[in-house]
C-alpha cells in the first residue's frame, strides 16, 4: 500500500521516516485542499448568515457532521464538535459534576492517558472517589479486578480503547456490559483506535465516545464527542456564549437544541470540514484493508525487534494495534530517539502522557514506534539497521 505520494509532507521531506503516528498523523492532500477551499471559496461563519457563502459554509459544516455520524453509526444529533479528545472528556467531567454527590465513584484504568485522568481528579474536590483498574500480565485492563471495584456508588467507567503506549486493545464489550448490568455510565477514549478499528457506537452501546481529528489524518484543533441522545437534556453545557443559546434575556438564558447546545462560539469550521475529508479518505481505503496492512507491518516490526539482544518489548501478547514500546538496557530512550533523528527517523521517547502506567510497569519511560498506512517494511528495515548502530554507539 504505497500511498505516501498523497501526503505533501513526504514530498517535501523525501527522506522522512515517520513512526510517531500515535502522537499525530500526517495529512493527505485532500484534507489540506478541503481546508484551503473553504477559506478561499466560502469563508463565513456558520448557522448565522443568510447570504450565499454563509449558507455554503453551514452546509459543508453540517454535512461533515453527517459523514462522521455515519462513520460511527451514530445519529447525526449525537455528534458534538470539540477541540479534541481532551476537551471532550473535560466537557463530560464538567457536565457530570453537578450530577455527582460526595461518595460517588469513577473507575478508570492504570493505562489511561493523562487526558482521561486529570479531568476526573478535578472532581475529587467534591469528595468523588477515583478507582484505578490495574492491567494484567497481557498488558490489558484486568476485567475481573475492574469488576471487583464496582459498588453501588460507581457512576462512571471511563477507559481507553487502545493503549497509546502498549497498543493493547481492551475488551470494550465486557467492560460496557458490566457497566450496563450495574446502571453505570461509560466513556470510551477512542483517540488511538479510531484510525485502526471499526467502531460502531450502536453495537458498543457506550454512553460517550471521544476522539481527536489529528489522530485520523484530520487537522489539529478539532475533536468529536459522541453523546447518546438520551443524555442531552440532563447534561449541562461546558462552554457558554454564542450559538449554544436559544434565547437570552437580562436575567435568563435557554439552551439551543442538541448538539449545538454544547458548541459555544464560532467553531473550528475549516478543521471540521477537513476532518470529514479524512473520514472519507479512510472510507475509500477501507478500515479492513488498513487493519490487514498495519497488522502485517506490526508483525514484521516485532519479528525484527525480537532479534535485538536484551530488548524489552512491552505487552503484545494478544492482538494489538500498531504501537510498540520498548526499552534497551544501557540506552536512554531520549538518546536513541535523538540519534535516530539524525537519520530522519521519527520515534517517540518519554512517558507518553501515561505516568501512572509507567509506575505500574515500574519504569520511567520507553521508546515508542507507532505505524500507519503510509509506512512500509522498507522503512522498518532502515530503522532496524540504524537502531542497531545506535545501540552500538550508546553501549
pTM score, whole prediction: 0.96
CA distance 172 to 180: 12
Task: For residue 206, name the pLDDT band (cuts at 50, 70, 90).
Answer: very high
Mean pLDDT of 356-362: 97
Model confidence at 2: pLDDT above 90: no
Mean pLDDT of 196-218: 97
Q: Which domains does the chain have, with CATH numbers?
A: 4-25+286-394 (3.90.1150.10), 30-283 (3.40.640.10)
CA distance 346 to 359: 25
The pLDDT, as a whole number, for residue 57 is 95
Percentage, residues of the chain above pLDDT 90 = 90
The pLDDT, as a whole number, for residue 301 is 98
Model confidence at 316: pLDDT above 90: no
Q: Which amino acids are annotated catalytic?
A: 353
Mean pLDDT of 214-243: 93
What nine digits make up the cell of 79? 455528534
Model confidence at 20: pLDDT above 80: yes
The pLDDT, as a whole number, for residue 317 is 82
The pLDDT, as a whole number, for residue 183 is 97
The pLDDT, as a whole number, for residue 243 is 84
Mean of all residue pLDDT scores within the chain: 96
Model confidence at 289: pLDDT above 90: yes
The pLDDT, as a whole number, for residue 319 is 79
Mean pLDDT of 221-231: 97
Pairing of strands 245-248, 253-255: antiparallel
Model confidence at 308: pLDDT above 70: yes
Q: Name the nearest CA neighbour of 27 among 52, 55, 5, 7.
A: 7
The pLDDT, as a whole number, for residue 1 is 58
The pLDDT, as a whole number, for residue 241 is 87
Task: For residue 392, name the pLDDT band (cuts at 50, 70, 90).
Answer: very high
Model confidence at 310: pLDDT above 90: yes
CA distance 116 to 110: 10
- Give 316's contacts (C-beta < 8 A, 6+ positions apart): 139, 166, 167, 302, 324
Mean pLDDT of 205-221: 98
Dump pLDDT digits (tens) for 125-173: 999 999 999 999 999 999 999 999 999 999 999 999 999 999 999 999 9
What nine digits make up the cell of 262? 454544547
Q: Name the nearest CA neighbour of 272 among 88, 91, 52, 81.
A: 81
What nine digits make up the cell of 12? 517535501
The pLDDT, as a whole number, for residue 239 is 87
Mean pLDDT of 33-55: 95
Percentage, residues of the chain above pLDDT 70 = 100
Contact by Cβ (8 Å): 337, 347: yes
Mean pLDDT of 65-76: 98
CA distance 170 to 196: 14
The pLDDT, as a whole number, for residue 354 is 97
Amino acid at each position: 500500500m504505497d500511498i505516501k505520494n498523497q501526503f505533501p509532507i513526504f514530498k517535501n521531506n523525501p527522506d522522512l521516516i515517520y513512526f510517531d503516528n500515535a502522537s499525530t498523523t500526517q495529512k493527505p492532500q485532500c484534507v489540506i485542499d478541503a481546508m484551503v477551499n473553504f477559506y478561499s471559496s466560502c469563508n463565513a461563519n456558520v448557522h448565522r448568515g443568510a447570504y450565499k457563502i454563509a449558507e455554503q459554509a453551514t452546509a459543508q459544516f453540517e454535512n461533515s457532521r453527517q459523514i462522521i455520524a455515519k462513520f460511527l453509526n451514530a445519529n447525526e444529533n449525537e455528534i458534538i464538535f470539540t477541540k479534541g479528545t481532551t476537551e471532550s472528556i473535560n466537557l463530560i467531567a464538567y457536565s457530570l459534576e453537578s450530577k455527582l454527590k460526595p461518595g460517588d465513584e469513577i473507575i478508570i484504568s492504570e493505562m489511561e492517558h493523562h487526558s482521561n485522568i486529570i479531568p476526573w481528579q478535578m472532581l475529587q474536590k467534591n469528595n468523588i472517589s477515583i478507582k484505578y483498574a490495574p492491567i494484567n500480565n497481557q498488558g490489558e485492563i484486568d476485567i475481573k479486578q475492574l469488576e471487583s471495584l464496582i459498588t453501588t456508588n460507581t457512576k462512571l467507567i471511563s477507559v481507553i480503547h487502545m493503549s497509546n503506549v502498549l497498543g493493547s486493545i481492551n475488551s470494550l464489550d465486557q467492560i460496557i456490559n458490566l457497566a450496563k448490568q450495574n446502571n453505570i455510565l461509560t466513556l470510551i477514549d477512542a483517540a488511538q483506535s479510531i484510525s485502526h478499528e471499526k467502531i460502531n457506537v450502536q453495537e458498543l452501546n457506550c454512553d460517550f465516545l471521544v476522539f481527536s481529528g489529528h489522530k485520523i489524518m484530520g487537522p489539529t484543533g478539532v475533536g468529536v464527542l459522541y453523546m447518546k441522545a438520551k443524555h442531552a437534556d440532563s447534561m449541562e453545557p461546558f462552554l457558554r456564549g454564542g450559538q449554544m443559546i436559544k434565547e437570552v434575556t437580562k436575567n435568563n438564558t435557554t439552551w439551543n437544541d442538541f448538539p449545538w447546545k454544547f458548541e459555544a462560539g464560532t467553531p473550528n469550521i475549516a478543521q471540521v470540514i477537513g476532518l470529514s475529508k479524512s473520514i472519507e479518505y479512510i472510507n475509500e481505503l477501507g478500515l479492513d484493508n488498513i487493519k490487514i496492512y498495519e497488522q502485517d507491518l506490526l508483525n514484521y516490526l516485532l519479528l525484527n525487534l525480537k532479534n535485538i539482544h536484551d530488548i524489552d518489548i512491552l505487552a503484545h501478547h494478544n492482538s494489538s494495534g500498531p504501537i510498540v514500546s520498548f526499552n534497551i538496557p544501557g540506552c536512554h530512550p531520549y538518546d536513541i530517539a535523538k540519534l535516530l533523528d539524525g537519520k530522519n527517523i521519527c520515534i517517540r521517547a518519554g512517558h507518553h502522557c501515561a505516568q501512572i502506567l509507567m509506575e505500574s510497569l515500574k519504569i520511567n519511560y520507553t521508546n515508542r514506534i507507532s505505524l500507519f498506512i503510509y509506512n512500509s517494511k522498507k522503512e522498518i528495515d532502515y530503522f532496524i539497521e540504524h537502531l542497531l548502530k545506535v545501540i552500538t554507539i550508546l553501549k
